[in-house]
Structure 1
């Protein structure tokens, strides 16, 4: 419960930081009139909405399991990540639209020095917060917080590109450079949004854990399989901050239920320590169900 409150706190702070950054970017646009800065400010509106969606999703996913949702509500976070990815795509297309209009009608900036300095401050605030959020999201294994952090980092990259383009446009008087750089930044945001949607859809579709984690699970099972004959049919999936593994455990036919239960307890403890947040389901089978996979066996089957 403490961890869930912590996640909600970080998500709430994301909304507040998003409002501050948007205000700075909007001020920078009013000072310069740059289409790149304008598009960047609009993207910050997406940040605020996405952070709010993440906050709601975290509140829902924190609810305990009930009769209607016996496996909990953790997948609610993926809906937040999907929404955030979709909003990134919208922001990218909006930036391209605005850049195209300004490219056809280039205009000089009004107060470039003060405006660019304000934009740089916004990027610094957003970058620092994104790194904090990313670290906390990885620590808690929260898709919503990680998605929000990557979204913010993409915004920092976008802001850096806009700042560079606007600065060069002002120094060289190449006013067409402002919308050109904005389009390049929009394409980068588009790529980030597609990756976020891909990862979220994978979670909703019960995608397996990463290969390195699956291999760690296999090694842990093999190291703690003493007394059993083999395991097979291992399956994994991820749902929000929780991961699930299930497999069939083959034990000698003469083994008692208590002995088999002790092996299962040992395996569950070892797996929980190896992969934090892992829920293990073991289906115990008699020796007659052994499949004889060499890579999965421990001990020797009786003839």
Structure 2
């Protein structure tokens, strides 16, 4: 169940009515990115044919990746929008990690090609032509990429989309490298030092390789369910701010991410004498609170309830406990150190 405007909505209806329109917004954003990236890539190749600059060619090769990655991202967002089924009980959101991994691999390959072309130009230098025209074209494409990158980064945060955020960060990296490239070409134009051209290309190739590695690293950690400590801290903050006396402790918390949705397992220690309905209501409160704290995301909880034992008494907040066997000595603050391990705090 999902709480929407104080009404409990079945999860499958929520996914259809609320999550799918959100994913349609993601798809529209990424299609805009794909179209603009296609135009910018064409303009950069035009600048290369005007100038014969290997540094501009490096920038154009990276822009090809924007187009290819945008196409793959469009498909991944479409696939992520499909509802859960028997074969995919957690949904299709993991495909977003494949998307950023694919983009990272393509960027890495582009970096290798750029390094190769730079070394080739050191061995067989070429004369540069029409530098002013190339600079004008590069300036316009850099400005276009700047607006596109900012749009994607903001949209990724607003929609909690890994794919859009990753695409936006890549394009912003492209903007920074283009600015460095423009500074280098202006220097060449006024000094005639053409050796700067392949040197800048080498530097750009190394930076692009590093960017590709980071995206692939992020993809692998997501596919292998590496714990995102920022998400853990957010869940702990929400539960600590709304702590109830029946929640004696929370431990063995594990968080998996599927696109912009989360699956959380945890154990909650509660008074052993609670009736089943009361215990269920307490667990439901946990799920509702965390879902309210994760806007634009759906958080699915699997909670295992542990009965309290005498060693829990010294930190149990229940003031009117009829079976307390040890005096209360103080509240234990929930942190990563006691929420993540599979053991009661006592």
Q: What TM-score bracket applies, with the shorter chain setting the length?
A: over 0.9
Over 3 Å counting, the alpha-carbon distance change for 1:84 and 1:226 in structure 2 is same
Question: Is the Cα–Cα contact under 8 Å of residues 209 and 243 in structure 1 kept in the other structure?
Answer: no
Structure 1 equivalent of residue 181 of structure 2: 162
Structure 1 equivalent of residue 307 of structure 2: 286
Question: Is the Cα–Cα contact under 8 Å of residues 228 and 251 in structure 1 kept in the other structure?
Answer: yes
**1:245 aligned counterpart, secondary structure:** strand
Q: For the residues of structure 2 that align with 1:294 and 1:175, how far apart are their CA atoms?
A: 75
Question: Is the Cα–Cα contact under 8 Å of residues 105 and 212 in structure 2 kept in the other structure?
Answer: yes
Structure 1 equivalent of residue 52 of structure 2: 33
Structure 2 equivalent of residue 215 of structure 1: 233
Deviation at 1:231, TM superposition (A): 2.3
Q: For the residues of structure 1 that align with 2:233 and 2:57, how far apart are their CA atoms?
A: 47
Q: For the residues of structure 2 that align with 1:102 and 1:219, how far apart are their CA atoms?
A: 55
Flag structure 2 segments of 5+ consecutive residues without an equivalent. Answer: 1-19, 326-346
Q: Does 1:206 align with 2:228?
A: no
TM-score by length of 2: 0.82
TM-score by length of 1: 0.93
Over 3 Å counting, the alpha-carbon distance change for 1:71 and 1:31 in structure 2 is same
Flag structure 1 segments of 5+ consecutive residues without an equivalent. Answer: none
Identify the match of residue 53 of structure 1 among 52, 59, 72: 72
Question: Is the Cα–Cα contact under 8 Å of residues 161 and 182 in structure 1 kept in the other structure?
Answer: no
Deviates more, 1:182-191 or 1:72-81: 182-191
Over 3 Å counting, the alpha-carbon distance change for 1:142 and 1:293 in structure 2 is farther
Deviates more, 1:147-156 or 1:218-227: 218-227
Structure 1 equivalent of residue 144 of structure 2: 125
Question: Is the Cα–Cα contact under 8 Å of residues 90 and 258 in structure 2 kept in the other structure?
Answer: no
Over 3 Å counting, the alpha-carbon distance change for 1:219 and 1:35 in structure 2 is closer
Q: For the residues of structure 2 that align with 1:25 and 1:293, how far apart are their CA atoms?
A: 69
Question: Is the Cα–Cα contact under 8 Å of residues 100 and 215 in structure 2 kept in the other structure?
Answer: yes
Question: Is the Cα–Cα contact under 8 Å of residues 81 and 92 in structure 2 kept in the other structure?
Answer: yes
Deviates more, 1:273-282 or 1:109-118: 273-282
Q: Does 1:302 align with 2:332?
A: no
Q: For the residues of structure 2 that align with 1:117 and 1:216, how far apart are their CA atoms?
A: 46
Identify the match of residue 136 of structure 1 among 149, 155, 159: 155
Deviates more, 1:273-282 or 1:107-116: 273-282
Deviation at 1:51, TM superposition (A): 0.7
What do the CA deviations read for 1:182-225 (whole angstroms, capped 9, x no partner)? 111111111111111111111101111224x3233223323333
Q: For the residues of structure 1 that align with 2:187 and 2:119, how far apart are their CA atoms?
A: 18
Deviation at 1:291, TM superposition (A): 6.9
Identify the match of residue 75 of structure 1 among 64, 72, 94: 94
**1:110 aligned counterpart, secondary structure:** coil
Q: After TM superposition, list the pairs within 5 Å mapping 1:249-260 onto structure 2.
A: 249-260=268-279
**2:227 aligned counterpart, secondary structure:** coil
**1:224 aligned counterpart, secondary structure:** coil
Over 3 Å counting, the alpha-carbon distance change for 1:27 and 1:293 in structure 2 is farther
Q: Flag the structure with higher helix content.
A: 1
What do the CA deviations read for 1:127-149 (whole angstroms, capped 9, x no partner)? 11011001111222211111111
Deviation at 1:72, TM superposition (A): 0.2
Q: For the residues of structure 2 that align with 1:221 and 1:155, how far apart are their CA atoms?
A: 40
Structure 1 equivalent of residue 10 of structure 2: none
Deviates more, 1:198-207 or 1:266-275: 266-275
Q: For the residues of structure 2 that align with 1:26 and 1:280, how far apart are their CA atoms?
A: 50
Aligned length: 300
Deviation at 1:121, TM superposition (A): 0.6
Q: After TM superposition, list the pairs within 5 Å mapping 1:260-275 onto structure 2.
A: 260-275=279-294
Deviation at 1:36, TM superposition (A): 0.9
Q: For the residues of structure 1 that align with 2:234 and 2:276, how far apart are their CA atoms?
A: 27
**2:251 aligned counterpart, secondary structure:** strand
